[in-house]
């Protein structure tokens, strides 16, 4: 499978994402933000970092990059798009995902390992995560507090669009396990069509035991499996 | 000519900066403060002779698309 990893000025997890995809046996390449097309792509990763210095608002300027038009088209045609950290912020600013990410409630930048509960296996990003598995993955953000108005939250819930929530080691969704004050402990969501997802934690930094956890690989394995099924379906 | 845009967090949105400043003010002894909301102020220079109504329309569009995020922020635009 071919992954396109976007590269904005001040993206800094782009190489990590490429590394993770290659480590897991697939191909990945960087796509510069000024490119107007993605080329041969099976899935897009919008990586973490501080695109455009986080000026104005995180992700606010990146969404107007030429490459984002191509990502929008790719998503409109059902292509899989995963936004990680700053990538999640870019996707909400671009209107590809509902809600917004605001300053952490304690105003601190959090760089630590957290636990994630998968809210539903029913998505291209969660289908291969073993049932009941609590994922241990790092976060590194100052503006990761998920916010959406009540109507949007109700819609997310009704459509099963919340994919991951912050929890403690036993899987309980407690307030102390919530690192940033996100509403309902929300760490990641998908769109209504379920082909675009975003999350604040960094699965790409947790794909090999050397880094302390390989739990993040399950998110990538879910994407690989979805793409494989798609290819088989197309061939049939 | 100048356009002034004041951006504030929406009422329902958590404003930890505002809350922190409010409690600092209370600790310093300033009384009677019931809320602090921290936003942004953007000043835009316009070419002399710019049509005010046209600028108003264009900047409202810009404020909605880029300068503010309508999911979490309100804005007020003034041209003078």
C-alpha to C-alpha distance for B62 and A84, rounded to whole angstroms: 27
pLDDT tier at B72, thresholds 50, 70, 90: very high
> Is A202 considered catalytic here?
yes
Query: What's the DSSP call for residue B66?
Result: I
Averaged confidence pLDDT in chain B? 96
Return the half-sphere exposure (C-beta side, CA atoms, 13 A cut-off) of residue B55.
18
Q: Note whether B16 contacts A106, CB cutoff 8 Å.
A: yes
Would residue A39 be called left, alpha or beta, if left means φ above 0 and alpha means ψ between -120 and 50 degrees?
left
* 3-class SS of residue A230: helix
CATH of B2-79, one of 3.30.565.10, 3.30.1280.10, 1.10.490.10, 3.40.50.720: 3.30.1280.10
The domain tally of chain A equals: 1
Using CB atoms within 10 A of its CB, is residue A119 exposed (0-12), middle (13-18) or buried (19+)? buried
Residues of chain A contacting B71 with CB distance shorter than 8 Å: 92, 99-100, 147-149
Chain A residue with CA closest to B16: the answer is A105
Catalytic position from the list A13, A85, A167, A207: A85
**Three-state DSSP state, B71:** coil
Q: Which of B5, B12, B39, B71 to mutate to test the interface with A (most CBs of A within 10 A)?
A: B71
How do the pLDDT tens digits run along chain A, 236 residues long? 999 999 999 999 999 999 999 999 999 999 999 999 999 999 999 999 999 999 999 999 999 999 999 999 999 999 999 999 999 999 999 999 999 999 999 999 999 999 999 999 999 999 999 999 999 999 999 999 999 999 999 999 999 999 999 999 999 999 999 999 999 999 999 999 999 999 999 999 999 999 999 999 999 999 999 999 988 877 76
> Residue B14's pLDDT band (boundaries 50, 70, 90)?
confident
Indicate yes or no: CB of B72 within 8 angstroms of CB of A100.
Answer: yes
Domain ranges of chain B: 2-79
Look up residue A49 and give its DSSP letter: B
The CATH number that applies at residue A109 is: 3.40.50.880
Residue A35 sits in which domain range? 2-235
Answer yes or no: A85 catalytic. yes
- Mention every residue, 6+ apart, whose C-beta is less than 8 A from residue A57: A89, A93, B69
Do B69 and A60 lie within an 8 Å CB cutoff?
yes
Residue-level pLDDT at A236: 67
Whether residues A103 and B16 touch (CB distance < 8 A) is answered with yes
Predicted confidence (pLDDT) at residue B50 exceeds the cutoff of 80: yes
| Residues A60, A101: Cα–Cα separation, whole Å | 11
Size of interface A-B (CB pairs under 8 A): 37
Mind giving me the DSSP string for A2-14?
Answer: EEEEEE-TTB-SH
* Closest C-alpha among A198, A181, A51, A48 to residue A103: A181
The DSSP output letter for A134 is P
pTM reported for the whole predicted model = 0.94
DSSP per-residue string spanning A196-218 = EEEESS-GGGSSBGGGTB-TTHH
Closest CA–CA distance from residue A101 to any residue of chain B (Å): 9
Cβ pair A3, A45 in contact under 8 A? yes
What's the rounded Cα separation, in Å, for the pair A121 and A130?
Answer: 9
């Amino acid at each position: 499978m071919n992954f396109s990893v976007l590269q904005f000025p001040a993206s800094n997890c782009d190489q990590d994402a490429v590394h993770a995809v290659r480590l897991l046996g697939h191909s990945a390449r960087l796509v510069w933000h000024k490119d107007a097309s993605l080329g041969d792509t099976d899935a897009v990763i919008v990586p973490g970092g501080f695109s455009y210095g986080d000026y104005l608002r995180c992700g606010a300027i990146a969404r107007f990059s030429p490459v984002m038009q191509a990502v929008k088209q790719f998503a409109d045609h059902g292509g899989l798009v995963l936004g990680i950290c700053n990538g999640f912020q870019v996707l909400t600013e671009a209107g590809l995902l509902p809600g917004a990410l605001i300053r952490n409630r304690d105003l601190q930048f959090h760089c630590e390992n957290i636990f994630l509960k998968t809210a539903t296996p029913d998505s291209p990003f969660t289908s291969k995560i073993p049932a009941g598995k609590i994922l241990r993955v790092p976060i590194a953000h100052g503006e990761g507090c998920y916010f959406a108005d009540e109507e949007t939250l109700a819609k997310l819930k009704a459509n099963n669009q919340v994919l991951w929530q912050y929890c403690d080691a036993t899987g309980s969704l407690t307030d102390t396990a919530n690192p940033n004050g996100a509403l309902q402990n929300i760490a990641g969501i998908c769109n209504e069509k379920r082909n675009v997802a975003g999350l604040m934690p960094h699965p790409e930094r947790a794909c090999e035991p050397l880094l302390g956890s390989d739990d993040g690989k399950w998110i990538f394995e879910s994407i690989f499996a979805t793409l494989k099924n798609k290819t088989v379906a197309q061939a049939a | 000519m100048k356009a002034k845009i004041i951006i504030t967090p929406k009422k329902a949105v958590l404003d930890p900066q505002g809350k922190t400043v409010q409690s600092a003010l209370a600790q310093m002894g300033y009384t009677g403060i019931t809320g602090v909301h921290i936003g942004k102020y953007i000043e835009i220079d316009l070419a002399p002779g710019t049509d005010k109504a046209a600028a108003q329309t264009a900047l409202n569009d810009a404020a909605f698309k880029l300068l503010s995020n309508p999911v979490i922020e309100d804005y007020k635009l003034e041209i003078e």
